[in-house]
């Protein structure tokens, strides 16, 4: 059975890792750019980000894509990351905040309070149960018509990327902490069709590392249609 890091282990890792997270951009940025191109951030009014890291993605959205009055709420389990994100988001402090969370996937946010739920390279380090719990919460805090915007490590597309993701998985099975707890997953597999309509899905491979990009619209659970 797969063993992911506990929230305490993840916090300890990312407290140490801190700003080095931004060095992962060499394989993460193509997927992030793809996500930005597909999630229509230009019309967003309130964004929630789970696991914001250094605030790099938030700052990029605020500087270049979100409307001037769009509010941004980010959470992260790591004190180091929250400190870095707060410094980065300072130019938008009137509408953007980064808060330290407990690591729980139960979110302190009201039902329907946001129209974008963003998480990049975080679900791939959560346990199966936590991914499902977090997606249930994303559904709860998204307003009718809201969008789920995800990117993360996935299984390799093509022979080189398959080899890399196979090696990654083998190494993860032995020493998950050395990989920051991240392993390739299939994000779409977690999206129940009666809760989410997948509007966009793509796999971007950079330097042999594949990332899945998903934009999904929140569906009304009872009616099974976009609200």
Ligand X SMILES: C[S@@+](CC[C@H](N)C(=O)[O-])C[C@H]1O[C@@H](n2cnc3c(N)ncnc32)[C@H](O)[C@@H]1O
For ligand X, the closer of residues 62 and 81 by Cβ is: 81
Picking from 149, 139, 143, the residue whose alpha carbon sits closest to that of residue 61 is 149
Distances (CA, A) of 97 to 1, 59, 87: 37, 11, 10
Residue number, 53 or 156, with CB nearest to ligand X: 53
Q: According to CB under 6 A, which one of 61, 109, 125, 216 is a site residue for ligand X? A: 125
Task: Decide whether 215 or 219 has the Cβ nearer to ligand X.
Answer: 215
Collect all residues with Cβ–Cβ distance below 8 Å to 143 and sequence separation of at least 6. 112, 113, 114, 115, 218
Q: Which is nearer to ligand X, 56 or 115 (CB)?
A: 56
By CB under 6 A, the residues from 132 to 171 that bind ligand X are none
Residue 154 CB-density burial (10 A; 0-12 exposed, 13-18 middle, 19+ buried): buried
CB nearer ligand X, residue 15 or residue 227: 15
Measured from the CB atom, the residue of 119 and 219 that comes closer to ligand X is 119
Q: Which among 114-122, 186-194, 202-210, 212-220 is the span making contact with ligand X, rule CB under 6 A?
A: 114-122
Q: Alpha helices of 65-127 — where are they, by DSSP H? A: 79-89
Stretch 59-78 residues interacting with ligand X (CB under 6 A) = 75-78
Cα 11–111–181 angle (5° rounding)?
Answer: 20
Q: How many residues bind ligand X (CB under 6 A)?
A: 23
Sign of the alpha-carbon torsion through 153, 19, 53, 55: negative
172 contacts ligand X (rule: CB under 6 A):
no
- Binding to ligand X by CB under 6 A, coded x per residue (else -) over 25-54, reads ---x----------------------xxx-
Under DSSP, is residue 129 helix (H, G, I), strand (E, B) or coil? helix
C-alpha span between 74 and 88 (Å, rounded): 12
Nearest residue by C-beta to ligand X? 53
Residue 180 sits in the site that holds ligand X (CB under 6 A): yes
Contacts with ligand X, residue ranges (CB under 6 A): 7, 10, 14, 21, 28, 51-53, 56-57, 75-78, 81, 101, 103, 120-122, 125, 180, 182
């Amino acid at each position: 059975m797969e063993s992911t890091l506990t929230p305490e282990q993840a916090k300890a890792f990312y407290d140490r890792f801190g700003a080095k997270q931004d060095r992962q951009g060499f394989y993460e940025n193509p997927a992030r750019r793809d996500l930005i191109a597909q999630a229509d951030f230009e019309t967003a009014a309130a964004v929630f980000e789970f696991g914001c890291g250094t605030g790099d993605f938030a700052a990029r959205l605020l500087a270049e894509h979100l409307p001037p009055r769009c509010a941004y709420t980010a959470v992260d389990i790591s004190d180091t990351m929250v400190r870095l994100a707060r410094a980065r988001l300072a130019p938008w402090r009137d509408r953007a905040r980064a808060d330290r969370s407990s690591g729980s996937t139960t979110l302190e946010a009201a039902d329907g309070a946001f129209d974008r739920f963003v998480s990049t390279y975080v679900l791939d380090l959560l346990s199966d149960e936590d991914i499902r719990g977090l997606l249930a919460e994303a559904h709860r805090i998204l307003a009718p018509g809201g969008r789920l915007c995800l990117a993360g490590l996935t299984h390799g597309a093509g022979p080189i990327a398959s080899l890399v993701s196979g090696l990654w998985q083998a190494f993860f099975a032995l020493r998950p902490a050395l990989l920051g707890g991240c392993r390739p997953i299939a994000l779409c597999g977690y999206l129940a069709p009666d809760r989410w309509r997948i509007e966009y899905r793509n796999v971007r491979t950079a330097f042999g590392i594949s990332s899945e990009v998903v934009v999904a619209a929140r569906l009304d659970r009872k009616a099974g249609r976009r609200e």
